[in-house]
Structure 1
């Protein structure tokens, strides 16, 4: 039995239909995203997207992550600005990270995060994001990759619903001097 071919690359428009179906499976399995997936393709196409990456197994999209321009109303942006006194233009927000449950545990989420963090470094942005406090596996992943929790917030969505969330930032890479 041969190992499946796994890779991460920039997301392409042709990936979106397959990723939308994967997102529906992820929501059924994990309850992510908490807002639901009434229109999964629209959820994937973030209006403030900088760039997105797709995890591929044997030429089939199985997950993705998106880097977006931070907006003043983003929970993660507000928490980072309060903590650092920095500007919304200093940061970018990681979001929409998910993997098909059948393809977890082989490093693909880590490679998606590394691709995103590398691009953020290239454009001189600190990566911030939030995660629902209920998502223990995601929190464990972010902790393993060196993310630092900087705040606890309440995520508001839907018709007045709320969910406790944690805000994280990836520290700037230390350059050899």
Structure 2
């Protein structure tokens, strides 16, 4: 298993993997109509892929803070205007699970954040229990609840997290 920076040439295969993950898990709740666009959100800083047998089996990205509730919660609680990045677009193909792929992808993003003086935040929908277990096992701290809006006026409860300090 190789974790590496995503290249432009990876985007089609990563988009195909995302659609497969959505079919298996209903994640993400949005973005599968334009998976390439969803994988390259506004403010994208860096993205990584997990590769096994020359196939992309996972993905994660860091984006610049926009108007996410997790960013506001973190800044209010930490009383800081420090640089904040948003960890997002994490997924692992079903056949690659139970091999710490998600953990390795998150670690790559956290290492990048530490090197670049970014504190990472995220929100995860409460339905995504495996992701919640992963973040909590890795030491991410819950900083509150949010509402994840998607589609045409749809919302789902989410939990916001901040990455470990170091």
Judge same fold: TM > 0.5, yes or no.
yes
User: What TM-score, normalized to structure 2?
Assistant: 0.96
| Alignment equivalent of 2:79, drawn from 70, 76, 85 | 85
1:20-59 to 2 correspondences below 5 Å: 20-59=15-54
Give the greater-gyration-radius structure (CA).
1
| Preserved contact between residue 31 and residue 37 of structure 2 (Cα < 8 Å) | no
Partner of 1:19: 14
1:85, CA displacement in angstroms? Answer: 2.1
Write out aligned runs for 1:1-177 (5 A).
Answer: 6-71=1-66, 73-87=67-81, 89-173=82-166
- Which of structure 1's runs of 4+ aligned residues deviate more than 4 A? none
CA-CA distance at 1:157 after TM superposition: 1.7
User: Residue 155 of structure 1: CA displacement?
Assistant: 1.2
Alpha-carbon RMSD: 1.0
Count of residue pairs the alignment pairs up = 166
Query: Counterpart of 2:70 in 1: which secondary structure?
Result: helix
With the length of structure 1 as denominator, give the TM-score of the two structures. 0.90
**Structure 2: unaligned runs, 5 residues or longer:** none
Gaps of 5+ in 1: 1-5
Aligned partners of 2:98, 2:11: CA distance in 1, in Å?
A: 23
- How far, CA to CA, are the matches of 2:78 and 2:29 in structure 1? 28
Supply the distance in 2 between the matched residues of 1:49 and 1:154 (Cα, whole angstroms).
Answer: 22
Taking the aligned partners of 1:13 and 1:98, their CA distance within structure 2 comes to: 18
Rounded Cα–Cα distance in structure 2 between residues aligned with 1:77 and 1:30 = 26
CA–CA distance in structure 1, aligned partners of residues 11 and 31 of structure 2: 17
